[in-house]
Amino acid sequence: MINLELPKKLKASANQAHQVAAQIFRPISRKYDLAEHEYPVELDTMSAMIEGLADSGTQQIGGASGGRGDSQVDLIANANGGNMSSLMNTLETAWGDVGLLLTIPYQGLGNAAIAAVATDEQLARFGKVWASMAITEPSFGSDSAAVTTTAVLDGDEWVLNGEKIFVTAGERSTHIVVWASVDKTKGRAAIKSFVVPRDAPGLSVARLEHKLGVKASDTAVLLLQDCRIPADNILGSPEVNVEKGFAGVMQTFDNTRPLVAAMAVGVARAALEELRTILTEAGVEISYDTPAMNQSAAAAEFLRMEADYEAAYLLSLRAAWMADNRKPNSLEASMSKAKAGRTGTDITLKAVELASTIGYSQRTLLEKWARDSKILDIFEGTQQIQQLIVARRLLGKSSAELK
């Protein structure tokens, strides 16, 4: 039997995250949607609170802090650790505003990369930094193996050169996890991730992007021009293992994709709740006792979307649970990301449509959620990439065999 009820410790943490979303994020959501690139100063108080909670052992309010799970996971049959806690908190804060969630200080996507592949010594050094993640380049999007940024070892320093685009929190974070190749002749196996401090010589912000949604979050273009960092800032082993490929670096996505799925689920839930209120006020009755075909078109559509939402939610839970219990979850992480990303855009756009003029105007946040949700089907691997990964896993094909 599968028990889907959350344990008390996760309920308490998720409730805190929901209060943050309701009392801090929602009231300023429209403000920072209209004031793109303006830093949300309200989040400074939050960062101090989050740090205090982390120091006291309480789980994070939100962000991408998922990591290796509880240390006692091998001793028990079922563990709900850092990944599940981060997923639930991410879902709740995304319900408030996903753009603000992406710019919470010290809760960047790069933090998940550090948690996934860093050594114990690196975890101690980088455990309290605010890390964004720089993967995408002008020459590629979702094909992470096409990285052209280079890292050359020069004495006791790495020298990085390249350009990274669409870096979430790229201007505001204190550190950036940069993907670069240490030897282009060895292909994807030579791609490693490096922790680059904000003040590293040779690192600069070229510009900030103007975007369709998540405008509260800064999205930067970064230039690395003979950028020098300490030799021990490479995450994991510097050795190139051709047989292993870059599976160690890609392990980052096994942690972050369920969290992005949770963001999409959170935005979808917000849209469903708002739409239900609008439909109810308009006299549309939604019944769970009457077949959908015997209800109004709006009610039947709402029931369909709610079912999709539940499926995306459960897939996300499974992927996070597997990560906490040290089970390989690459397939499940991609399944959750694919389903949630598609469901989020479908629900938010349909909510705008069913709410009619109210949905298309700025009288509610429905149109904003429709804009925000699109990125959740794109970053951390597009819908098409996720389906390709799922197909490879199910069919037992390599990336060379199934492109």
Q: What type of residue is 154? A: D
Q: How far apart are CA 184 and CA 322, in angstroms?
A: 34
Closest by CA position to 26, among listed 18, 34, 37, 14: 18
Rounded to whole angstroms, what are the CA distances from 343 to 78, 159, 313?
29, 42, 10
Q: Are 10 and 80 in contact (CB under 8 A)?
A: yes
User: Which distant-in-sequence residues (6+ apart) come within 8 Å of 27 by Cβ?
Assistant: none
User: Amino acid identity, residue 223?
Assistant: L
Active-site annotation holder among 92, 171, 367, 380: 380
User: Is 380 tagged catalytic?
Assistant: yes
Looking from the CA of 286 toward its CB, the CA atoms found within 13 Å total 19
Give the separation between CA 68 and CA 118, rounded to whole angstroms. Answer: 10
- Residue recorded with tokens 């403000």: 31
In whole angstroms, what is the distance from residue 343 CA to residue 94 CA? 15
CA gap 294, 122 in Å, rounded: 59
DSSP 358-372: HHHSTTSSHHHHHHH
Type and span of the H or E element at 264? helix 247-281
> Secondary structure of 15-39 in the HEC alphabet?
HHHHHHHHHHHHHHHHHHHHCCCCC
| Angle CA 252–257–260, to nearest 5 | 130
Residues 6+ away with beta carbon under 8 Å from 279: 286, 298, 299, 302, 354
- Residues designated as active site: 380
